[in-house]
Amino acid sequence: MTESMRARNEAFAQFALDAAHEAGVAILPHFRAAIDVEDKGGTRGYDPVTEADRAAEAVIRAAIARRYPDHGIEGEEHGRVAGRTPFTWVIDPIDGTRSFILGHLHWATLIALHDGHRPIVGVTHQPFVGETFVALNDVSEWRRGDEQRRLRTRACRRMADAVVVPGGMFGGGRHRRLAGNPRSDGPTLTARTEQCHDLLDNEVAGIHFYTLNRSDATRVIFDSLGIPRRRKEQAQPA
């Protein structure tokens, strides 16, 4: 990667950070307050959306239109707008809407940028707790105020030794060892083992590992945008 590309990505990341913070300003007045909840899931099952989701996405879309009017946008709440360049911003204004409407802490604004080949910037911002996760130029960081810390996965040579904290895709919030370990939940995680290992091992997607769930925009970020997979070893059945 050239220095000019690195600088370009840094500018994109700073823009995404600023947009996520602006979205947080729109969201927080609705948190732990009376709010109407709609179910947009229909036959797909319960999928809540609130005024806060829509307002936050509108803020991010407006920021993109002002700064990068030629870029495309793929949003959880307001759909897709094709751009005139390969760049597409992917937005989930509130990832974890169920937690949000219950007053729980585990929700965040997700913004990623895809360059037509792969994601090049990812931002996860948690307005209420003031924590942000940023990934660009093959580095992922946790930030809070003036603090920042590089994120990396624990060295783990065998899948059987890996540990994840699953979110909505698996149900529950318990620590579980992955399939292949006799003490694990066995076949219940086998189908997702390789997928999670790939995501956790990818430096761009890694910042979002704790927010994995069923949301459309998150699936777009992880599954549909061509995130490169680095398979160190194949998962073995339990």
List pLDDT tens digits, range 118-170. Answer: 999 999 999 999 999 999 998 999 999 999 999 887 777 887 777 766 554 44
pLDDT at 208 over 60: no
Residues 148-161 pLDDT 10s: 999 887 777 887 77
CATH no. for 3-224:
3.30.540.10
Q: 44 pLDDT band (50/70/90 cuts)?
A: confident
How far lies 121's CA from each of 127, 135, 177, 226, in Å?
19, 6, 30, 13
Give pLDDT, residue 6.
94
CB 234 within 8 A of CB 202: no
Does the structure show a pLDDT above 90 at 173?
no
The tokens 């994601």 sit on which residue?
119
Determine the pLDDT at residue 201: 37
Question: According to the model, what pLDDT value does residue 155 have?
Answer: 79
Highest mean pLDDT among 54-58, 186-190, 218-222: 54-58
pLDDT tens readout for residues 10-42: 999 999 999 999 999 999 999 999 999 999 988
Give the pLDDT confidence score for residue 165 in this predicted structure.
64
Domain locations along the chain = 3-224
Q: Which pLDDT score is estimated for 52?
A: 97
Record the pTM: 0.71
Mean predicted lDDT score pLDDT of the chain: 77
Q: What is the pLDDT of residue 177?
A: 44
Tell me which residue of 183, 181, 178 sits closest to 196, measured CA to CA.
178
| Predicted local confidence at residue 90, as pLDDT | 95
User: Quick one: residue 136, left, alpha or beta (phi over 0 = left, psi -120 to 50 = alpha)?
Assistant: beta
Query: What distances in angstroms separate CA 19 from CA 53, 66, 161, one per listed residue?
Result: 14, 11, 38
Supply φ then ψ for residue 142, to 5 degrees. Answer: -100, 135
64-116 pLDDT, tens digit per residue, is 999 999 999 999 999 999 999 999 999 999 999 999 999 999 899 999 999 99
User: pLDDT over 70 for what percent of the chain?
Assistant: 68
